[in-house]
């Protein structure tokens, strides 16, 4: 349990050698100004560190801050009365646990670190105020919120209408896409810390069956996996085989369309 591209030293609160994942994601929704970026950095309060397997938020907690995953992976998960665990979503670097402007009175899930995690605490009231003060930042944050909502809808579609092999393929497409957006994919390869049991709990399958599905995918040559590192050989083929639709629609053609909402620059 080690290899993590986004490691402790990857968060340059000072330098600009490596872009923070959150800023990277945000800047895909709208061009951020230097002020916007500074503002975001200032709003990220103390950063906490969690070890693999640690619980970041427990089911039933009253949250006091937004939590921003700065590096590492985390699961939003829930245990059912029958003992089953359902992973609701996978949080990657740059992801917020909640919509940026508000906190729920109580969380109905728990948040668990899959790898070592750096998490920043943010006051939603301040972030909201920043979004209201800067049109570009507001635009970026709302866009990010829309993408999260679309991802949740996507998971519903996946669980409701795809068979087992398709679900697994879809997951790898999704991870490939999301990790690409934050620069964590190199030549089709990315870190993949999830175990097959985790994948099963995310996709509503059994561990055994996930194993067989992955063998099937490997047999087709679209995917390979070793030592916690996944490689997608043919993303096109995998995407069409597992009915994955690119999330680019959600970002690309945006510039003109939403100019009305917030003054974009450039």
Query: Could you list the residues that contact a copy of itself (CB under 8 A)?
Result: 62, 76, 78, 80-82, 84-89, 98-99, 101-106, 108-109, 124-125, 128, 132, 139, 142-143, 145-146, 148-150, 152-153, 155-157, 159-162, 201-204, 243, 245, 249-254, 257-258, 260-262
Residue 229 interacts with DNA (CB under 7 A)? no
CA 23, 27, 31: angle at the middle one, nearest 5? 130
Looking at beta carbons only, is 203 or 235 nearer to DNA?
203
Look at residues 169, 170, 143 and name the one whose alpha carbon lies nearest to residue 157. Answer: 170
Looking at beta carbons only, is 100 or 190 nearer to a copy of itself?
100
DSSP for 63-83, written as a single string: --SEEEEEES-EEEEEE-TTS
- Whether the Cβ atoms of residue 120 and residue 65 lie closer than 8 Å to each other: no
Looking at beta carbons only, is 23 or 145 nearer to a copy of itself?
145
- Beta-carbon count within 10 A of 138 CB: 22
Q: Please tell me what DSSP assigns to residue 105.
A: S
Q: Please tell me what DSSP assigns to residue 96.
A: B
Residues 198-227 interacting with DNA (rule: CB under 7 A): 204-209, 211-212, 214-215, 227
Looking at beta carbons only, is 15 or 160 nearer to a copy of itself?
160
Q: Hey, what are 62's tokens? A: 């009253």
209 binds, among DNA, a copy of itself, none (CB under 5 to 8 A by kind): DNA
Candidates 102, 163, 252, 263; binder of DNA (CB under 7 A) is 163
Sign of CA dihedral 23, 203, 53, 65: positive
Binding site for DNA (CB under 7 A): 1-2, 163-165, 195-197, 204-209, 211-212, 214-215, 227
């Amino acid at each position: 349990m080690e290899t993590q591209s986004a490691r402790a030293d990857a968060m340059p609160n000072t330098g600009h050698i490596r872009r923070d994942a959150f800023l990277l994601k945000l800047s895909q929704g709208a061009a951020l100004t230097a002020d916007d970026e500074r503002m975001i950095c200032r709003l990220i309060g103390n950063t906490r560190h969690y070890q693999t397997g640690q619980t970041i938020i427990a089911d039933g907690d009253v949250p006091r801050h937004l939590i921003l995953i700065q590096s590492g992976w985390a699961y939003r998960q829930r245990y059912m009365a029958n003992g089953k665990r359902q992973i609701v979503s996978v949080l990657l670097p740059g992801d917020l646990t909640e919509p940026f402007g508000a906190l729920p009175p109580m969380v109905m899930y728990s948040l668990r670190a899959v790898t070592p995690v750096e998490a920043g605490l943010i006051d939603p009231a301040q972030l909201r105020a920043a979004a209201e003060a800067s049109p570009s930042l507001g635009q970026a944050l709302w866009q990010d919120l829309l993408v999260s909502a679309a991802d949740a809808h996507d998971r519903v579609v996946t669980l409701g209408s795809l068979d087992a092999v398709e679900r697994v393929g879809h997951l790898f497409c999704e991870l490939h896409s999301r990790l690409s957006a934050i620069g964590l994919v190199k030549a089709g390869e990315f870190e993949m810390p999830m175990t097959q049991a985790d994948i099963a709990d995310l996709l509503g399958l059994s561990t055994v069956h996930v194993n067989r599905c992955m063998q099937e995918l490997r047999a087709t040559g679209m995917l390979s996996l070793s030592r916690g590192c996944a490689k997608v050989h043919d993303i096109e083929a995998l995407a069409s085989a597992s009915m994955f639709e690119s999330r680019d629609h959600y970002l690309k053609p945006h510039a003109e369309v939403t100019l009305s909402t917030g003054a974009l620059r450039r």
